[in-house]
Structure 1
Amino acid sequence: MRRRTLLAAGAASTVAAVTALPARPAGARHRRGLTVAADGSGDVDGIQAAVDAVPSGNPSTFTIAIRPGTYPGQVIVPADKPHIVFRGLCADPSRVVITDDRANGTPRPDGGTWGTSGSASVTISGADFTARNLTFANSFDEAAHPEITNRQAVAVLTRADRLVFDNVRFLANQDTLYVNSPDVATVSRAYFRNCHVEGDVDFIFGRGTAVFDRCEIRSLDRGSTTNNGYVTAASTDLQNPYGFLVVRSRLTGAVAPGTVYLGRPWHPSNDPNAIAQTVIRDSWLGPHLNPAPWTDFGTWSWRDARYAEYANRGPGAATGADRPQLTAAQAAALTPRAYLTGPDGWSPMRWS
């Protein structure tokens, strides 16, 4: 059940050895982009090789165009390489797949294990990053590795500000999408538009500020009749009024009715100031959601977190004592614009 088949039409099954970029003539102008192709027909045949070709301190948009294929191996976008764009050269995001297969408990070659952050297939530390028309996956096979008990397996870890994901899929099981920041005091924003995020346990988590706009957020089946997981595990710092906002989206899941929670409050290292902030509004909620959809995380009560809903619909939507609702005035203040604009006036979307 856990084994994930990544569909990538026309994809090569493996990636050839990284090809070096040809040397530029003296005085030649630096290229503002390159093409990656798994079959060797591009400038390079690996995603990390393309990132490595971006100059440190990159001052403007550098587009890495990615032809259909499957691209295995970890990818690191460092902090000194901002303004990178990953663009899948196909409207179907399932045809361009960037994937790796390690988990928290997977042994490292040099000893120890990778840990949750180290398990990420893709880590983005460069600001002003954009991804379009592709899939990020962690294909760690839980069933094939019963000896590994720490099964957090991150598809994408973000540690930077002003990130945009458009028509992107995020696939894994536990801890799929880790929306974070460089440190507790730094606010980092990300905008997810028309994306698909799936997983089971805490599969959208972290202290970052994120808006999920017109997305599908899909819960996977853990085979339980009582608890099939948690959608969010925000760890928003108390000083940050904006954590996760899900708006105009669909929360779905082919699992037993009433067995999935909207969220639980994560306090990393028992940090008392990590007060989760999550709003689900103007969205369709499926029958897989528990009627009391917010729950405790260990000894940390969900009632101390900043959880709310507003104007949701569908079989999983309801109101009541266990379903905090925004007032109309609060809803007018908790919009995508409020979450994302910031002091720099960032506007990644056409406001509507």
Structure 2
Amino acid sequence: MTEIRSKARHRRRRTAFLVGLPLALTAAGTMTYGTAFGASAEDARPLAAADGPAWATETADGFASVDALGQKGTYGGRDGRTVTVRTLADLERYATAAEPYVIVVAGTIAMNPVGKEIKVASDKTIVGAGTSGHIVGGGFFLGPGVHNVIIRNLTIRDSYQGVWNDKDHDFDAIQMDGAHHVWIDHNDLRNMADGLIDSRKDTTYVTVSWNKLSRNNKTFGIGWTTNTTADLTIHHNWFRETEQRNPSTDNVAHAHLYNNFLEDVAGTDIASSYGNYARGNTRMLLENSYFQGMRNPVTKDATASLVQRGNVFSGTSGRNESGGTAFDPRAYYPYTPDKAADVPALLKTGAGPRSSIGTTAATKAAAATTLTVAKDGSGQFTSVQKAVDAVPANNAARVIISVGPGTYRELVKVPSNKPHVTIQGSGGSRKDTVIVYNNAAGTPKPGGGTYGTGGSATVAVEADDFQARNLTISNDFDEAANQSLSGHQAVALRTAADKVVLDGVIVTGDQDTLLLDTASKDRLGRVHVTNSYVIGNVDFIFGRATAVIDRSVITLKKRWNGTSAGYVTAPSTAAGRKGILIANSTVNGDVADRSFYLGRPWHAGGDASLDPQTTVRNTTLSAAVKTTPWTDMSGFSWKDDRFAEYRNQGPGAGGPSGDRPHLTDAQAADQEVADWLAGWTPGA
């Protein structure tokens, strides 16, 4: 592409909130490779511990792990069959059954009527398939005596009825009345008419961990009893834009709260009333948590005991109390708290649903073909392309190309007749394995002519169901040394395929770093980029694919001459398709303030029928982003296409205006990550 290119602590919302929260980036971890469960609930099959994915046999920590009341820890439906559900009828059928089940929610299920709470029976695991499992407009109820239940990796949202302090609609995400041994883990809970979690009437042996709780009034209440018998562990949860009950603990015998992040975000329409609250006869130990901007971050009744250790308070105000004696959690279970200073980064990265939970390979990972590449000759091949060449045409099963540490200066092409290929670095860091070359659009080809923009790619992917993990893909074309060359576009990675996963990678270059294309104008090409870095300066995320940049860092870099100027995206989306979505990410870099646009419309070839789209939402924007973040390109006005923001933050964010359109809450409901992926659950 050419460069010519008042009481009131609450600030009332108008309509429902419908989206996730910003996350930061972590180093690549060890992953299991595969796809989602089968097509319907009738795919039910036994899942033995020896051959099942790790998440299916994981058990709770904290008080939910304690042997008591005739129950040995909390392991959910591990001993039963695994079923995949996509409808309300199937979800209710298996959740209420007498026998144990692992129930995988592999899509969005709307509760009917709104506010419905499915009455979950004992010995159940209800888990979202990757990030695709959404429960909308209702939730789950665990009644007296219900036990051994895991609710995990789900997004439960949007029963809110428009009344903030709603007294008429008791619509909770998860309500427990007299239950025991419950593990609530890695969920995204938000925007409900009443509580996100209500633990009531002597519910005990509960662990609540690694959840995102947001955009709610009465968030997490514990109590509704005169007895003091309940034991709960609440750790590594991110409370953000929640007014009260964060949590409120009433008459809890042992409340262990640690490594939680309570954040009141300035400038939003919800403000905290109070944070952690020990009421009645509660005994609470609160340690190594992080409170940011909270009003009354820690409060206690005169009758309660609350011991604080190692907490961090930043920009807080009002009551911050402690007193009395607590208890030693290690008398009940082992644990190792993280440093409080690390908690915000840990939770922005790790809280909420994970793509690696709730998914399993169609065949065992061990049965997948693995080809090894090593520079020193210790592998089967010494170049990545030679390994790709060895993949049989039209292969039906996944082939993993494991590339050892080193720099591989070569061009790599995965042709369209070689699907299901994973190229992954085997080193401890994504920086250990580097595939790099230096072609540019204007570089002369050996047989005559030049490469052009698409042909300049270091790695070109034309095969569906491709994955790249734990490596760096680079184009190190030297613009300064090649000023006489016409065409400085230099692509690091080009994808022209559907169902492409880029996880834990670095894609780096200057102009036109990451080309997200489709096989043809009429073909769908979905790409999911997560936990990754994309680095460049001019139109460096571009193309006509339906692409999600999620939980990643977009790094802006200076031009070859040291100046700061550029454009993050240049979509060339076909009409009726979704374009580029940047969500839950960070845009930053060592460049001048107000020097970069978020995007401009690329009408490739002057095609006026295109309808380019970029949405940037729930993302932290540095001061490098211009106050008017969109601009025209090649005679086409960005205002005639689809460019918008939603709930971004940071010094580069700004309020809605004619030059800076924001989505409404209703519009944002149709621009979630799951909407972009259109029924595809990326394999973990």
TM-score strictly above 0.5: yes
Amino acid at match of 1:222: R
How far apart, CA to CA, are the structure 2 residues paired with 1:312 and 1:339? Answer: 19
How far apart, CA to CA, are the structure 2 residues paired with 1:90 and 1:69? Answer: 9
1:134 aligns with 2:471: yes
Note the alpha carbon deviations across 1:30-56, whole angstroms, 9 max, x for none.
981210001111000000000000000
Alignment match of 2:557 (pick from 213, 220, 228): 220
Amino acid at match of 2:451: W
Q: Displacement, 1:84?
A: 0.3
Q: Displacement, 1:263?
A: 0.3
Note the alpha carbon deviations across 1:83-123, whole angstroms, 9 max, x for none.
00111112311110011111000111111111111100011
Residue aligning to 1:295 = 631
Residue aligning to 1:248 = 584
8 Å CA contact 1:225–1:256 kept in 2: the answer is: no
8 Å CA contact 1:128–1:163 kept in 2: the answer is: yes
How far apart, CA to CA, are the structure 2 residues paired with 1:73 and 1:258? Answer: 37
1:37 aligns with 2:379: no
How far apart, CA to CA, are the structure 1 residues paired with 2:486 and 2:633? Answer: 19
Residue aligning to 2:179 = none
Alignment match of 1:192 (pick from 529, 534, 542): 529
Alignment of 1:1-352 (within 5 A): 32-222=369-559, 228-240=565-577, 242-319=578-655, 320-341=657-678, 345-348=679-682
8 Å CA contact 1:121–1:156 kept in 2: the answer is: yes
Amino acid at match of 2:596: V
Alpha-carbon RMSD: 1.6
8 Å CA contact 2:465–2:500 kept in 1: the answer is: yes
How far apart, CA to CA, are the structure 2 residues paired with 1:323 and 1:82? Answer: 40
- Could you list the structure 1 runs, at least 4 aligned residues long, displaced by more than 4 angstroms after superposition: 223-227
Identical amino acids, percent of aligned pairs: 45
Residue aligning to 2:229 = none
8 Å CA contact 1:226–1:259 kept in 2: the answer is: no
How far apart, CA to CA, are the structure 1 residues paired with 2:560 and 2:473? Answer: 24
Note the alpha carbon deviations across 1:264-308, whole angstroms, 9 max, x for none.
100111001221111000000000011101000021001011011
8 Å CA contact 1:191–1:211 kept in 2: the answer is: yes
Q: Displacement, 1:200?
A: 0.6
Q: Displacement, 1:348?
A: 1.2
How far apart, CA to CA, are the structure 1 residues paired with 2:385 and 2:587? Answer: 33
Q: TM-score, normalised by structure 1?
A: 0.88
How far apart, CA to CA, are the structure 1 residues paired with 2:474 and 2:411? Answer: 10
- Worse overlay, 90-99 or 218-227: 218-227
Q: Displacement, 1:349?
A: 6.7
SS of corresponding position for 1:218? strand
How far apart, CA to CA, are the structure 1 residues paired with 2:571 and 2:663? Answer: 18
Q: Displacement, 1:332?
A: 1.3
Q: Displacement, 1:222?
A: 2.0
Q: In 2 relative to 1, CA 48–223 (structure 1 residues): closer, same or farther, beyond 3 Å?
A: closer
8 Å CA contact 2:564–2:591 kept in 1: the answer is: no
SS of corresponding position for 2:669? helix
Larger Rg over CA atoms: 2
8 Å CA contact 2:583–2:617 kept in 1: the answer is: yes
Q: Displacement, 1:328?
A: 0.5
Q: In 2 relative to 1, CA 309–269 (structure 1 residues): closer, same or farther, beyond 3 Å?
A: same
How far apart, CA to CA, are the structure 1 residues paired with 2:666 and 2:428? Answer: 39
SS of corresponding position for 2:482? coil
SS of corresponding position for 1:144? helix
8 Å CA contact 1:203–1:232 kept in 2: the answer is: yes
Q: Displacement, 1:146?
A: 1.7
Amino acid at match of 1:231: V
8 Å CA contact 2:403–2:424 kept in 1: the answer is: yes
| Structure 1 portions without partners, runs of 5+ | 1-29
How far apart, CA to CA, are the structure 2 residues paired with 1:109 and 1:158? Answer: 24
| Structure 2 portions without partners, runs of 5+ | 1-366
8 Å CA contact 2:539–2:569 kept in 1: the answer is: yes
8 Å CA contact 1:224–1:256 kept in 2: the answer is: no
Q: Displacement, 1:225?
A: 9.5
SS of corresponding position for 1:109? coil
SS of corresponding position for 1:116? helix
8 Å CA contact 1:225–1:259 kept in 2: the answer is: no
Amino acid at match of 2:464: A
Note the alpha carbon deviations across 1:118-177, whole angstroms, 9 max, x for none.
100011001000111000001111112122131000001101000101100001000000
Amino acid at match of 2:574: D
Q: In 2 relative to 1, CA 225–82 (structure 1 residues): closer, same or farther, beyond 3 Å?
A: closer
Note the alpha carbon deviations across 1:229-287, whole angstroms, 9 max, x for none.
100000000121x1111111000021111010000100111001221111000000000
